[in-house]
Amino acid sequence: MELRDLGEFGFIDRITRGMIVRDEPGLVGIGDDCAVFRAGGGFDLLLTTDMLVENVHFQREKIPPRMLGRKAIAVNLSDIAACGGAPKHAVVALAAPPDVNVEYLDSLSAGIRGCAHEYGVNILGGDTTSSPQGLVISVAMTGEVATGRVVLRSGAHADDWVCLTGPVGDSAAGLDLLLHHPELEQTFPDLVTAHRDPRPHVREGRAIGESGMATAMIDVSDGIAGDLGHICRASGLGATVEWSRVPLAPSFREYVAETRGDKRSLALSGGEDYVLLVTVNPAQGDSLTDILYRSCGTRLVRIGTMTAGSEIQLVLPDGSIQSLTSTGWDHFRRTR
């Protein structure tokens, strides 16, 4: 069997069996945004790791090194946020090819350092090595959350609201612009920034976690279709998404109108927006919305409902219903 036949998520399922040899209270292993383990003193520890590989996650000529360094930290911050935690410490591993000069690495390091400082994260060390071709940046990060307050993917219930902490599609549109319409970079700078220098919703994640109202949460890294699919599978449910409710920024709408882009595909499957997708009991939905706005100035937007079964459906403005594929990006198949 070839790896592309099994796929990324099939491979993960294949290798996860038997990984836990010493089960402990509160331990969460493979299958969520972060691993979780008890630390004592009223806190659980979070651990996450993410890797950026040249020509898989980024093209070196399309992103300045400082922004690449920031993004390497931001994607890990987003995982901590998705569990309702506070980021604490990180280690960084770097594999550099021979054509990368010292000035480039200085700027990359400045971006890593700047983003880490912005969110109060200590860079404690890591590893460096050579790469025969292509730059690779791998970050592992810890965080903490009050014991019993971690928000996982598996807690959603039927009839829960499905909500977002911000608009989607901007990063995918920014990437599309850089690859296919570079002449529009000065016209839509917000979209380019959304792709190159995303803002992880750390404050929002902490506020949601501390409220104790969210039943499940995940960051939107693979797109709504893929990430809602992760919550559905972990919670044993399906979902309905109303397209008319999905928040889209004005610049995103203008870009797809000018380029005649596929609005639904970019918004629902594009990924790398790093907003949070949250499920909440309808009785607490308005309260959580108020808490989030008061604490962060962020509006929680309801886009759908968790349902019994396993299917994810997209309801269009005319009332017609489509199946919303929930596979997300598959690195081994290189498809969505």
CATH number of the domain bearing residue 183: 3.90.650.10
Instruction: Of 43-47, 88-92, 206-210, 326-330, give the lowest mean pLDDT range.
Output: 326-330
Q: How far apart (Å, rounded) are the C-alpha atoms in residues 65 and 94? A: 13
Domain CATH number, residue 83: 3.30.1330.10
Whether residue 134 is found in the same domain as residue 180:
no
CA 301, 199, 265, 333 dihedral sign is negative
What would the pLDDT profile of 36-72 be if each residue is shown by its tens digit?
A: 998 888 999 999 999 999 999 999 999 999 999 999 9
Residue 70 in domain: yes
Whether residue 198 is found in the same domain as residue 281:
yes
* Residue 65 near residue 31 (C-beta atoms within 8 A): no
Residue 334 in domain: no
Q: How far apart (Å, rounded) are the C-alpha atoms in residues 150 and 214? A: 10
Q: How far apart (Å, rounded) are the C-alpha atoms in residues 109 and 123? A: 11
**pTM of the predicted structure, to 2 decimals:** 0.92
Number of domains in the chain: 2
DSSP, collapsed to helix, strand or coil, labels residue 66 as helix
What would the pLDDT profile of 87-141 be if each residue is shown by its tens digit?
A: 999 999 999 999 999 999 999 999 999 999 999 999 999 999 999 999 999 999 9
Whether residue 220 is found in the same domain as residue 139:
no
Whether residue 138 is found in the same domain as residue 193:
no
Whether residue 127 is found in the same domain as residue 219:
no
Whether residue 199 is found in the same domain as residue 113:
no
**Residue 43 region, left (φ>0) first, then alpha (ψ -120 to 50), else beta?**
beta
Q: CA 86, 190, 252 angle in degrees (round to 5)?
A: 105
Whether residue 40 is found in the same domain as residue 121:
yes
Per-residue confidence (pLDDT) for residue 141, from 0 to 100: 98
Average pLDDT for 257-272? 95
Whether residue 27 is found in the same domain as residue 92:
yes
Instruction: Find the domain containing 215 and state its range.
Output: 161-323
Among 117, 146, 175, identify where a domain stops: 146
Residue 336 in domain: no
- State the SS3 of 154-198: CCCCCCCEEEECCCCCHHHHHHHHHHHCHHHCCCCHHHHHHHHCC
Could you report how far apart the first and last alpha carbons of the chain are, in Å? Answer: 20
What would the pLDDT profile of 235-264 be if each residue is shown by its tens digit?
A: 999 999 999 999 999 999 999 999 999 999
